[in-house]
Amino acid sequence: MKYELDYFSFEENGFHIGGWTRRGWKRFQRSALGTENRPARCTHTTEIELERGNAVIYGAYDGKPPRSCPPRSPDRYYAIAHVGRMVIGLNLALCLNCEPGVGSGPYRSVRGTKAILTALQVRPRPDYAAETASGVAMRPRLRSR
């Protein structure tokens, strides 16, 4: 994983976001945790276009896949977005033995997930050479002891 960010409030109703390179994402998908985030039977999907990519929002049911699809709303929502050269995972399962129903709140819905995804922006790569030429070196340098 290239980066990971947790935004959880006291009530645990925030969100989790992680990013991978395309190659790293393929490796993650083959892992045990990656298979937990594959769409199961009865999973609802919503596709959305983003400024520099696309995403799929999944609405899934906790536990074993039901024999028949329940009439109720899904238990959890997560998304996978392809933005620029990155793959972004939003609210993916974080463990193999997680308690069902973990996390609710405004970011754990189709609407909340869309709000986060549409706010994603690809930033230009920093030009450290220009910063150094101006006399201000912004990249930290490690010193050996």
**Position 75 in a domain:** yes
Q: Compute the average pLDDT of residues 49-55.
A: 92
**Position 139 in a domain:** no
Query: Is residue 37 within 8 Å of residue 78, measured between CB atoms?
Result: yes
Q: Compute the average pLDDT of residues 80-92.
A: 92
**Position 141 in a domain:** no
Q: Is the pLDDT of residue 62 over 50?
A: yes
**Position 92 in a domain:** yes
Domain carrying residue 78? 3-133
Please give the pLDDT value at position 136: 54
Please give the pLDDT value at position 10: 41
Please give the pLDDT value at position 49: 94
Q: Is the pLDDT of residue 26 over 90?
A: yes
> Letter for the amino acid at 14?
G
**Position 110 in a domain:** yes
Contacts with 96 (C-beta within 8 Å, 6 or more apart), sequence order: 32, 33, 36
Q: Compute the average pLDDT of residues 39-62.
A: 90
Q: Compute the average pLDDT of residues 11-39.
A: 86
Please give the pLDDT value at position 50: 93
**Position 28 in a domain:** yes
Please state, rounded to an integer, the average pLDDT across all residues of the chain: 80
Q: List strand residue ranges (DSSP E) for 1-140, in order.
A: 3-7, 15-21, 44-50, 53-60, 76-83, 86-90
Structure-model confidence comparison of residues 59 and 64, the more confident one: 59
- Model confidence, pTM: 0.78
**Position 68 in a domain:** yes
**Position 143 in a domain:** no
Count of structural domains, the chain: 1
Q: Is the pLDDT of residue 61 over 90?
A: no
Please give the pLDDT value at position 123: 75
What does the pLDDT look like over 92-139, one tens digit per residue?
887 777 666 555 677 788 999 999 999 887 777 777 776 665 555 555
